[in-house]
Every structure is written in structure tokens, then in C-alpha cells.
Copies of this chain bind each other. A is one copy, B any other.
Amino acid sequence: MTTQVQALYDFTGEPNTTEMSITCGEILTLVNTEIGEGWWEGKNAKGETGLFPAAYVRKLAPDESIQTKAAPAAPRYDQATDDWGDQQFSAGDSNFQRGTSHEDGWDDDWDDDTYSEIGPVPQKSNAQQQQQYNQQLTPLPGMPISDYNHHVEETASNYGSSVGTVRKNKFAPSSKVSGESYLLATLNVEVRDSEKVYIVQEEDRYEWWPITQPYTVTVASPKKESKFKGIKSFIAYQLTPSFNNIQVSRRYKHFDWLHERLQEKFTLIPIPPLPDKQISGRYDEQLIERRRVQLQEFVDWMCRHPVLSKCEVWQHFLTCTDEKRWKAGKRQAERDPLIGLNYCISIVVPEKALLQSQVDHITEQCHMFITSMDTSVKSVSSMCIAHTKKLQGPYKADCQKVGEAFCSLAASLSLDEGSLASTSKLTTAIKMTGSAYIDMGRMYDEHPKYDWEPLGDKFHLYKGVVGGFPDVLGTHKSAVQKKRECERLTAENKMEIAQLNEVLRRTDVVSYALVAEINHFKAERTKDLNATMQKFLRQQIHFYKKIVDKLETTLKYYDDE
């Protein structure tokens, strides 16, 4: 039996490959769904046959004729990304065979996700692997073991009548998804209870359902690992979640891949940033350590977020130790249909409809706050970097110049004292004073890692989170605009009231999510900044006390007056 699919978006095939261009709305006949890697083969009306992303089309029911307009980004042909599981777990992998030998230093952490093959590399279906992954997936803390074998083409919805279906296990659309399919209720996916995210009212606030079983993840001192018998080496960070105490090894590019998935999926939740590529460090060790600290900040923020801490791709990232499951989970995450506003289908909100005026007030307030906060956190962040540089540069040098001047004075005085043995108490004391200031110079150099650098790392995180809010607000604003458009259409009798009601309900879900996230951010930053500032101040106090101690010790070398 032939199956027909309709293109949901335009896709431009790479010329001179097996790819085929398809146009939004175009009807194609499926030829082969076993291509793998998210590709299907089909035949168009002209009789041409070629590959296109499975996620760009939907299987047609005989009477269907709905068109969607927004197009996700083209799937990424990032072979390096795709087979990083191999790089992680095996030597002599396909990368090596393809001679991608520029991955030969720890610094490739930053680079080796940038190279790509032209065109997709069709692979065998990963159905079995995927099955295996789903069965072995580590259960999340506080969540029942989920069955990830989503019922394809199942159209039952929590929110109303089925208007269309989206297949799971396809290439994921990008974060550019406008959310129309969700808002206009053309998207309906059955979401298992385990995947549902609840927003609850707590006193006068709407909040994400709080974390019931908190956990932490430590990012341990990174190790330099190598492969290809030592030809290539890279830095792997050791992550150990508190809920299972099983260490996993992750490279920066794994984090990077995760970050991309999270950003695609959560358009209403600002994702904490990864380490700054501009981290400066004179030694590899310092640089790697700074990245570790910033990764720890990222991980901590993830663990403390009620929604992010539970999400599947994150859990997969935290727990997977098997290469095959890793690859399977990776592909699954990349084909996750519940990304962008579509994710909202997982969100269960209070029955109460929101007052648009209240929502407007909250978003305006948030916009004003975030605009100001963005400037402030950037200013604290860059101040920390600049101040650290000053402490390790001129402050250190100045202190040592002071020390050297005293040392030279002591050396001169000793010239008037004959042999070394007869060095006077004063000369010794002045020499010790010189040494003390030289030591203090070293303290200026070393101490930022306890105060200014952690503060800077924290504000690097805030810079990322705060910087994510304008997009969140923008996404919400578009949803509200779409809602208003539908209200107008209904007023003009161009949309049925039943459909409008579903649009209103879904827009409310978006607004609830925004409000919950705003409240989460406020609660989180209050607790977090309080701890951060105290830790910073305690370290500053410790530093100046150490200086006082050093000077007091030095003072004792002098004769009592």
C-alpha cells in the first residue's frame, strides 16, 4: 500500500546528491522509510525520487488538507556531531578513517564540532538501538520509569479534538518553530504522565511543580584523555550525579550538543550558558579548571531547575554510559517533536484562565527588569574579568616592586655589617618585609580563583540566563499576537469559537509557563545571589585577613621600640 506524505516546510536538497527539494504543501509518495538518520525517500508529482528529512513531512490521512507555514531549520549534516558517541567510546572510529586529523589537541574541545560532511550519510535504521536505549534508560529521580515507545500517529490529545498529528522519532525542527502548530492546535501528541510538567499556584504565585527529589551533579577535575593510540588527546570532564553515583565522561562538545537540544526544546526557559570561549588563562591547567567551574555552574543551574532537571535529554546526558544507547538517545533527542512552543503540550496548568492585563503587566515588568539586569550582570561579569587581570598583572607586579625595594634596602644595609652571620636584626626584618610583599604579590595572583573568578563564573551564568529572557519574552509575545489574530478572525467569523477557545487555552499555557519561569528565576537568583555574594565576601575577608596575618608576622621580626 502506498503512503502519501505532505511537505510541512520547504526543503532545499543539496545539488548533486541523493537529496530532493520539496515545497511546503507538496504531496509525495513514500518510497523508503528505512533510510535512517531521519531521512526518508519519496517520489514527487514529477516522478523524481530523492531523500528529504522525515520531520519535514507528515503522513496524510485520506481526507486531510491542512497546511502549515513555518519551516524548521534544515537538519544538520554534522557527521562529527552525529558520531561523537564513537569518538567517546571507541578508538579507530570512522572519523579516523575519514582523516579528520585536526582534532589533535585539547583545544579541539572548542573546534571539533565545526567540521561537517557534505550531505547526509545514510545509515542503517537505528530502530533496534533505539529500542535498546528506551528500555535501558535510567529512571529519573522522582519519576516513574517511562516508556518511550511513543505511539506514532496516535491523535488523542489532552486538550481537545485532533486536528493533525506529528510523528515522534523524526528529525527535530529547530527553535525557529513559530509555535503555530501548537497554538492553532494542529499539533497533538500524546504526552505520557511521566513527561508532563505541572504549573501550580503557590500562595499568590504560579510556579513550576517543585523538585521533589533534589540531586546534585559534580563536575570533577577534567582528565586529559587520548585516543588513536595517543595521536589525539582531549579533555573529558567527569560528571557524577548524586542519585546514582555513577561517573560519566563528557567532552565540551557533548555539552555543546546538549545545550543546543535544550535551547531548541525550551523556548520559554532560558538555558544556562556553557563556559565562555573567551576564558583567559596563562596555563592549560588554569583554563581547563575555569571551564570546569563554569560547567559546574551550568550543571548546578540545570539540577536546580524543576523542568530542566527532569528532562529526558539531560538525564540521558547525565547517565548514559553505553555507546550504543548514547547514540540512540542522541538521535532520539534530535528528533524530539516537542520542541519550541510544541513543548507546551507537555505542560499542565491550573484551570483558571489568565487575565491578559495581568499577563501584560508581568511581561512588561519583566522586560524592564531584564533590560536593566542584562546591563548589570554584563557589567559585573566584565568587571570580574578585568579586576582579576589587574590583580594578576599590575597589582601583583606593584606588590613585588614594593617587596624588591625593601629587599634591596636590606641588601644595602647588610653591606655595612660585614659577614652574613652578623646581619643585624633590623636588616633581617627589612628583608622579611620585602619577602612578605613579594609573597603578597603572589597572593594577588593566586587568590582570584577563590573570589573574583567564581564571582565572574556566576555572573557569566547570569549573563547567559538573563540574555535568554528577551527571546523567551519574544516567543511569548508572538503567541499573544497569534491569539489576538485568532480573536479577530473569530470576530470576523473566519474562525470557529471552539477553535478560538483552544487557542486561548493554549496561549494561557504559554503565559503560565512564562510566569512560572519568571518566578523560578526570581526565587532562584535570590537564593543563589545571596549565597554567591556571601561566599565572595567571605573569600575577600579571608584574603585581606591573610594579608594582615602576613604583615603581623613580619612586624614581629622588628625589635620592640
Binding site for B on A (CB under 8 A): 365-366, 368-369, 372-373, 375-377, 379-380, 383, 386-387, 390, 394-395, 398, 401-402, 404-406, 408-409, 411-413, 415-416, 424, 426, 429-430, 433, 522, 526, 529-531, 533-534, 537-538, 540-541, 544-545, 547-548, 551-552, 554-555, 558-559, 561
Pairwise interchain contact A530-B398, C-beta atoms closer than 8 A: no
Q: Verify B415–A368 contact, CB threshold 8 A.
A: yes
Q: Which of A429, A544, A552 has the most CB of B within 10 A?
A: A544
Nearest residue, chain B, Cβ from A380: B405
Q: How far is the CB of A454 from chain B (nearest CB, A)?
A: 15
Q: Is the CB of A558 within 8 A of B544?
A: no
A537–B554 CB distance below 8 A: yes
User: Shortest CB–CB separation between residue A409 and chain B, in angstroms?
Assistant: 4
Decide: A555 near B530, CB < 8 A? Known: A413-B373, A415-B368, A416-B369: no
- Interchain CA distance A336-B342 in the complex, whole Å: 104
CB–CB A548/B558 < 8 A: no
How long is the Cα–Cα vector from A377 to B410 in the complex, in angstroms? 10
| C-alpha spacing A559/B533, complex, angstroms | 11
- Are B415 and A372 interface neighbours, CB within 8 A? yes
Q: Are the C-beta atoms of A377 and B538 separated by less than 8 Å?
A: no
Known: A408-B375, A412-B372. A530 touches B558 (CB 8 A): yes
Contacts of A402 in B (CB 8 A): 383, 387
Interchain CA distance A561-B544 in the complex, whole Å: 22
Given the contacts A383-B402, A411-B372, A526-B424, A551 and B558 also touching, CB distance less than 8 Å = no
Contacts of A379 in B (CB 8 A): 404-405, 408-409
Give the distance to chain B from A486, nearest Cβ to Cβ, in Å.
31
What chain B residues lie within 8 Å of A408 (beta carbons)? 375-376, 379-380
| Shortest distance from the beta carbon of A297 to any chain B beta carbon, whole Å | 17
* Pick from B394, B409, B415, B558: contact of A380, CB under 8 Å: B409
Give the complex CA separation of A93 and B394 in angstroms.
Answer: 55
